[in-house]
Amino acid sequence: METKTIFFLGKPGSGKGTQAKRLAARTGWPMFGSGDQFRSIAKEDTPAGRKTRLEIDQGLLSPPWFVEYLYLKIALSHPERESVIFDGFNRKVEEAELLFAASEYLERPFTVINIAISDEEVHRRLDTRKEDSGRADDHCVDVRLAEYEKYTKAALALFKERGVTIDVDGEQSQDAVEADIARILGLA
């Protein structure tokens, strides 16, 4: 099977993390989530930990250089013939441009799977999630959507312009979304 490098993008609450985990379970490919990486750093009593904790609490995206550092730390040490899944990386244009440069350098092409949902669905899902789990990061839905509009939408446009994006209807059931992704990637 061809080696694949997959990035999941989408609005907050789109199910990108869920689908990344499902793809990892289906394929056995390792998965790295930027949220997991940043939450781990936020627990540290360091300047980076304190700053990261503040950004998470406010629903803000981290600087592009920090996100790329985390991505490159993984990409530069990951075996080139092994597939890998990334969730939540490359949400800003600067990050996307660095990703193109890094993937060319590493000779590791990639695909971006965009889980598309409406703003109304974002609010519905995150309000439900907040009620179900009391997750601390869900109190700033509007801030997170504004960050998506300001940054991620432009990064996604760049990925689409360069022909590496696959859009998937994220408003279907989780099983239907997973089936679409598997079919698109030739895994079904």
Both structure tokens of 182:
């598997």
In total, how many domains does the chain have? 1
pTM, two decimals, is 0.86
Sign of CA dihedral 76, 78, 81, 85: negative
In this structure, what DSSP letter does residue 150 have?
Answer: I
Q: Can you tell me the distance from the alpha carbon of 16 to that of 21, in angstroms, rounded to the nearest whole number?
A: 9
What mean pLDDT do residues 2-25 have? 94
Instruction: Write out pLDDT tens, residues 125-139.
Output: 888 776 666 554 445
Low-confidence winner among 34-43, 123-132, 151-160 (lowest mean pLDDT):
123-132
Q: Can you tell me the distance from the alpha carbon of 141 to that of 152, in angstroms, rounded to the nearest whole number?
A: 15
Instruction: Write out pLDDT tens, residues 88-126.
Output: 888 899 999 999 999 999 999 999 999 999 999 998 988
Closest listed residue to residue 11, CA positions, set 133, 175, 182, 142? 142
DSSP β-bridge partners for residue 114 = 9, 167
Q: Can you tell me the distance from the alpha carbon of 23 to that of 16, in angstroms, rounded to the nearest whole number?
A: 10
- Write out the residue range of the structural domain in which residue 14 sits: 5-184
Q: Can you tell me the distance from the alpha carbon of 98 to that of 82, in angstroms, rounded to the nearest whole number?
A: 21
Q: What CATH number has the domain bearing residue 32?
A: 3.40.50.300
